[in-house]
Amino acid sequence: MRIGASADDLPEEICELWPENARPLEVFIAMQTQWALGGMGGVVGLRYESLPAMLDLLGTKKPARREVFAALRVMESAALKVLNEAAD
């Protein structure tokens, strides 16, 4: 089973990153090795137990963590669709 994406899987278009999405994207990229597998079900999501350490390492202040987590879950949901589609 292939997990993750290669550069060839990504669209060539360039998109603008809004400042409020910079930290959530940074966290999402830093969590790229933290995908949990669910047996025959493919990828089931990110391993949240590693998230506090990652937020600390990236210097994410406590007031921003709830918002960063919400944005991370949106990216996780979109990534799960792609990852599990690729595994089928």
Distance (Å, whole) CA 76 – CA 45: 7
Q: Which two tokens stand for residue 79?
A: 């990534």
Q: In tens digits, what is the pLDDT along the chain, a chain of 88 residues?
A: 456 667 777 777 888 999 999 999 999 999 999 999 987 778 999 999 999 999 999 999 999 999 999 999 999 999 999 888 866 6
Give the position of tokens 């137990």.
49
Entry pTM: 0.78
Say if CB 19 and CB 38 are below 8 A apart: no
User: For residue 3, what pLDDT is reported?
Assistant: 60
Which pLDDT score is estimated for 67? 96
Residue 2: per-residue pLDDT: 56
